[in-house]
């Protein structure tokens, strides 16, 4: 196995399976055919036209649109056609600050809209030795139970800035105090797009490096992580390259880290393929 396999594992979808979802005639997501047909039964909210699902133009403004869509989705949830609401709302549109629609987090992939997350690499330097704090996901998590994960990571919902959400995730997932989490440095962003059982996931991850003192010990505050381990970077490399133990999108963030820290470079096979594979344009 190879690093590029980790990138392939996070990418791939069949456009024939999906219909575009538009707001004001602008493409905003992708919906499976069956769901699009079902949604189009609510004439006042959705309209299916020329193989495209439109949000009804009669709905105007963020709150009116969001309430109308949530009303339809609640009926489908109650009917067990969609999973339960998550309770967090995600922004839909080209601007996170000025969204056109708010969608429950559990519906984001069903609508194939762009979502954003944050992953924090927890680094420890001890002389020349570089290590990474790695979490093991709780066995009872719905997604990727028991897999290896970052020190802290999470989705970026509506109504909170990236900087504040980072502090929140660091505290909830790893008990990193604010004054330490503040030192996290934004280091880039990566993208991927994958068809899942829920729908389409065109995702952007904002990546951060947080250099932690040798004596710091993370501790899980919200039950999402079973345990943490400080791993030498060489062991992380082996696990990412040769196994599928990491939650798939964590592998991408770690490959990006290996590139930025000079552990993968121009001498690496298909180096440019790795660099570009982390930044595909999203549909």
Taking the complex as a whole, the smallest distance from the CB of residue 11 to its own copies amounts, in Å, to: 14
Handedness of CA 227, 202, 252, 152 (dihedral sign): negative
Rounded CA separation 96/82 (Å):
25
Closest to its own copies by CB, 59 or 233: 233
Give CA 210 to chain center in angstroms: 19
CB of 160 to its own copies, least distance (A): 12
Nearer CB in complex with its own copies: 36/257:
257
Cα maximum dimension of the chain: 65
CA distance 64 to 75: 17
Closer to its own copies by Cβ: residue 76 or 187: 187
Q: Give me the residue label for tokens 């040769």.
A: 242
Q: Smaller CB distance to its own copies: residue 61 or 127?
A: 127
CA distances from 256 to 160, 231, 261 (A): 26, 17, 9
Smallest distance from its own copies to CB 131, Å = 18
Residues that bind its own copies (CB under 8 A): 116, 118, 156, 161-163, 185-191, 204, 206, 259-262, 264-267, 271-272, 275-276, 278-279, 281
Q: Strand 26-32 to strand 225-232: parallel, antiparallel, or no bridges (unpaired)?
A: unpaired
Report in angstroms how near the CB of residue 149 gets to its own copies at its nearest: 21
Contact present, 32 and 199 (Cβ < 8 Å) = yes
Shortest CB 180 distance to its own copies, Å: 16
Contact in structure between 188 and 275 (CB atoms under 8 Å): no
Complex with its own copies: residue 119 or 137, whichever CB lies closer: 119
């Amino acid at each position: 196995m190879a690093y590029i396999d980790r990138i392939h594992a996070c990418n791939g979808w069949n456009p024939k399976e999906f219909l575009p979802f538009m707001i004001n005639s602008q493409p905003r997501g992708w919906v499976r055919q069956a769901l699009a047909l079902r949604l189009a039964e609510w004439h006042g909210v959705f309209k299916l036209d020329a193989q495209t699902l439109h949000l009804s133009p009669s709905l105007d403004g963020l709150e009116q649109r969001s309430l109308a869509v949530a009303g339809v989705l609640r009926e489908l949830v109650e009917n067990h056609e969609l999973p339960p609401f998550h309770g967090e709302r995600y922004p839909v549109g080209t601007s996170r600050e000025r969204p056109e629609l708010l969608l429950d987090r559990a519906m984001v992939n069903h609508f194939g809209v762009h979502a954003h997350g944050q992953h924090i690499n927890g680094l420890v330097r001890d002389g020349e030795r570089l290590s990474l704090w790695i979490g093991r996901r709780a066995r009872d998590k719905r997604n990727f139970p028991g897999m290896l994960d970052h020190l802290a990571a999470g989705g970026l919902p509506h109504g909170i800035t990236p900087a504040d959400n980072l502090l929140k995730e660091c505290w909830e997932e790893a008990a990193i105090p604010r004054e330490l989490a503040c030192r996290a440095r934004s280091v880039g962003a990566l993208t991927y797009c994958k068809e899942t059982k829920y729908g389409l996931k065109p995702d952007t991850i904002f990546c951060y490096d947080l250099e932690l003192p040798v004596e710091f010990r993370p501790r899980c505050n919200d039950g999402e992580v079973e345990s943490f381990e400080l791993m030498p970077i060489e062991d992380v490399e082996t696990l990412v390259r040769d196994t599928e133990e990491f939650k798939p999108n964590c592998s991408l963030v770690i490959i990006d880290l290996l590139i930025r820290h000079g552990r993968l470079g121009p001498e690496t096979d298909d180096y440019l393929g790795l660099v570009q594979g982390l930044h595909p344009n999203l549909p």
